[in-house]
């Protein structure tokens, strides 16, 4: 049987008929599995994206708007942001366009001048539109850009690692960009962090700034987004580590 209806009308009719079940025990068990799975991903790394995103969420309030670019950092943001509000996560989910982030962050900050805007980006995505720093500086937009610098086009690099026998093509660009100097050239404030402690210190300082700030976070090139289902696969094919 199929039902054709306006979804809003249909859900309004349906919801009163459904009995709410809290499923507390099950959700607690899922949380245990999730924590164990996350912990197993990052035993050796100096700074895992989870540490960065966790610190950002702990140090910002529920009105904060989080914006991403496209790549692994986007997936980590989706996994680890502690979402506390609606309409507070701007991400290029469908077309996945690298370079989306800074323009979207500027739009969010202009549209919501009283809210904090945090822009999570990757080294490669940020290269695509970082010239927009001119606008952010001129307009004194206090956007904090968190650059997760793994020195690779990480999302594609991960695929080439996992499914193409580590035959890397166009994913290791050997760039030597100094994001801290570049930010200074634009007239923006900037920091570099290699440990969770350094990141927290930099982020606390960034929150005091009136204009845009970049924080370059050095993360491991081999960090993976997990769990992951291969293209065309099902949950049966899930990759956990």
Ligand X SMILES: Cc1ncc(C[n+]2csc(CCOP(=O)(O)OP(=O)(O)O)c2C)c(N)n1
User: Interface residues with Mg ion (CB under 5 A)?
Assistant: 122-124, 150, 154
Closest contact distance (angstroms) between CB of 128 and ligand X is 6
Helix/strand/coil for 218? strand
Which of 118/152 has CB closer to ligand X? 152
Closer CB to ligand X, residue 154 or residue 212?
A: 154
155 binds, among Mg ion, ligand X, none (CB under 5 to 8 A by kind): ligand X
Q: How far is C-alpha 103 from the chain's CA centre?
A: 15
Q: Does 137 participate in binding ligand X (rule CB under 6 A)?
A: no
Q: Does 96 bind ligand X (CB under 6 A)?
A: yes
Is residue 156 at the binding interface for ligand X, with CB under 6 A as the rule? yes
Pick 79 or 135: Cβ nearer Mg ion: 79
Is residue 79 part of the contact set for ligand X (CB under 6 A)? no
CB under 6 A: which stretch of 10-18, 108-116, 121-129, 227-235 binds ligand X? 121-129
Q: Residue 213: beta bridge partners?
A: 144, 189
Phi, psi of 239 (to 5 degrees): -100, 120
Q: Return the number of the residue (60 or 150) whose C-beta is nearest Mg ion.
A: 150
- C-alpha distances in Å from residue 156, one per residue of 94, 100, 175, 239: 17, 17, 16, 16
**Interaction partner, residue 130 (Mg ion, ligand X, none; CB < 5-8 Å by kind):** none
Q: ∠ CA 163-165-170 to the nearest 5 degrees?
A: 85
- Is residue 185 within 8 Å of 114, Cβ to Cβ? no
Q: Are 191 and 215 in contact (CB under 8 A)?
A: yes
């Amino acid at each position: 049987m199929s039902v054709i209806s306006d979804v809003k009308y249909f859900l309004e009719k349906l919801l009163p008929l459904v009995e709410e079940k809290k499923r507390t025990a099950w959700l607690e068990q899922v949380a245990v599995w999730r924590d164990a799975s996350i912990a197993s991903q990052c035993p050796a790394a100096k700074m895992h994206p989870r540490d960065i995103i966790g610190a950002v969420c702990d140090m910002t309030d529920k009105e904060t708007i989080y914006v991403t670019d496209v790549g692994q950092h986007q997936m980590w943001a989706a996994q680890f942001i502690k979402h506390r509000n609606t309409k507070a996560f701007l991400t290029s989910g469908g077309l996945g366009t690298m370079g989306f982030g800074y323009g979207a962050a500027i739009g969010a900050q202009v549209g919501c001048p009283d809210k904090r805007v945090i822009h999570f980006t990757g080294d490669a995505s940020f290269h695509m539109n970082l010239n927009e720093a001119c606008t952010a500086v001129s307009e004194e937009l206090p956007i904090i850009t968190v650059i997760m610098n793994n020195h690779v086009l990480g999302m594609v690099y991960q695929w080439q690692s996992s499914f193409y026998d580590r035959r890397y093509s166009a994913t290791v660009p050997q760039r030597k960009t100094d994001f801290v100097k570049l930010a200074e050239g634009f007239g923006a404030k900037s920091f570099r962090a290699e440990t969770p402690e350094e990141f927290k210190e930099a982020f606390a300082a960034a929150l005091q700034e009136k204009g845009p700030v970049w924080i370059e976070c050095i993360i491991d090139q081999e960090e993976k987004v997990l769990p992951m289902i291969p293209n065309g696969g099902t949950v049966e094919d899930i990759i956990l580590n």
